[in-house]
Chain A
Amino acid sequence: MAIKSLVSGMRLTGYYFTHHKEILTQEYPDNRETLTFGERFRGEVVMPHDENNEHRCTGCTACEIACPNGTIKILTKMEVGEDGKKKKAIEKFVYHLGMCTFCNLCIVACPTDAIKMSHDFEHSVFDRKQLTKVLNKPDSKIVKGVE
């Protein structure tokens, strides 16, 4: 009985020893190109811009409020629109990647879908300053019609 139980365990490891098909190892830096993620994978917060360098953020700060740990800081400015009215717009959407917990609450909170999660997961940098990012590109504007 006792020996049988030991042999049956050895049969299993022996089986895996001879069946290399079952090997699970992912050779990570080599398979970078072919890595796939679930489409909802949360890498980091990004703000998509279209080809006219326009984003959808109105500067409503809903995401800033929703964020549990103060990762997002929105600096707004007043801008004169085409119709001559003064309008609030973002000057800088500051995102502290080093503090983000990738909880997705900001994305859910945003009323205009201005931000989303990218699949980029290789966040390590040599200098912590690089983790503080400004998500809106320089001179970018809000897409027309987004209120």
Chain B
Amino acid sequence: MELEQPAISDTGDFTINMGPQHPSTHGVLHLKVTLNGETIKNVEPHLGYIHRSIEKMSEASTYRNFIYLTSRMDYLSAHMNNQACAMVVEKGLQLEIPPRAKVIRMLMSELTRLASHQLWWGALGLDLGAITPYFLGFRDREEILDIFEETCGARLTMNYNVPGGLMYDIHPNFVGKVKTFLKNFEDHLPEYKQLLTGNIIFEERTKGVGILTPEDALSFGCTGAVARGSGISCDVRKWNPYDGYETVQFEEPMETGCDCYSRYVVRIREMEESVKIIEQLIDNIPEGEFQAKTKVVLKVPKGEYYTRVETARGELGVYLVSDGSSNPYRIKYRSPGFSNLAALNTMAKGNKIGDLVAIMATLDLVIPDIDR
């Protein structure tokens, strides 16, 4: 321990600890920031404050039981996390899920993505000092959560996916409510642009800030809007369609600005694409079973399985090693937030403290996802 270290070094550098309790680290991320005046010289993220050993706990649970834990990783894309886990078990069991379940899974995923991006948009405003967006974002998110509550029974940790399909069928009100939501959201999306996108202060704050070159994005393994903001196409839904994404038409939004603004625009456009996907699916939910027939005790055959999904933050991979028993032998999650966070130092160096906040906001960090 270097307790006697002077607070300010000879070169005028000093270190501040941002977090684990800090308004803009969105949870318990701890950043050791070396500053020279207002200029950032180095950022060192420290993890471990919210480690719950989800991977280890999964090994002790059965194949039906471990899924619910993943809602607690990236809690804003809980549904996609559950889906990835359900998919890996289905892959192991070579189970084909019914078409109805597939469509509902897609619908739920896109709704989750919308909800997550709405929260991100609000929190971004909050980080940049505009407080009103937060409430507008939450207003729309609330509608989606109401839909979730009605169909899945919970608002955040839905646990709606089970190996083989869904836990129950959609609620009779589901279709109507989603349509109402889409109508409202169509009115509200322009407000997002009115309040932030076109705002000169916002553009000044984000354009040219936090540059992440495509090479860096690739080498850090960034995915999701972070990579797409640097012009790298990496949408799992396009490249490796799962659960029926090959049947819907949508674009993969991409920007080449490599800065915070590009990442912002990518996410806003992703919301539009999600709306498009939902519009395509909502009237065409096939009839039929919502769950494939499964045995009471699932036993995945011996082997290694990997599935990946596109969550709201990027690519989530689930790696499962099975020894043929009813518990997973090893589960490993490749979480998008962790890789994206790795690029933080590269992006933040040389910028101001205010920019660090903007960069973190456009990385869209969810700390429990980084630190499982």
Contacts and interface: CB of A to CB of B under 8 A. Distances in A.
A and B touch in the complex (CB under 8 A): yes
Interface of A: 1-2, 5-6, 8-9, 11-13, 24, 37-42, 66-68, 101-105, 108, 117
Given A101-B68, A105-B64, A9 B199 contact: yes
A105 B160 CA distance: 10
A40 B61 contact: no
Contacts, number: 71
B271 to A, nearest CB: 18
B200 A6 contact: yes
A114 to B, nearest CB: 17
Interface of B: 61-62, 64-66, 68-69, 132, 135, 139, 142, 146, 149-154, 157, 159, 162, 167-168, 171, 191, 194-196, 198-201
Given A24-B142, A108-B162, 7 more contacts: A5-B199, A40-B150, A68-B61, A68-B69, A102-B154, A102-B157, A104-B159
A38 B149 contact: yes
B149 A2 contact: no
A46 B154 CA distance: 17
B174 to A, nearest CB: 10
A60 B142 CA distance: 39
The residue among A11, A13, A38, A117 with the most chain B CB atoms within 10 A of its own CB is: A38
A57 to B, nearest CB: 18
A6 B157 contact: no
Contacts of B64: 66, 105
A12 B194 CA distance: 7
Given A24-B142, A40-B171, A12 B191 contact: yes
Contacts of A101: 68, 157
B73 to A, nearest CB: 14
Contacts of B69: 68
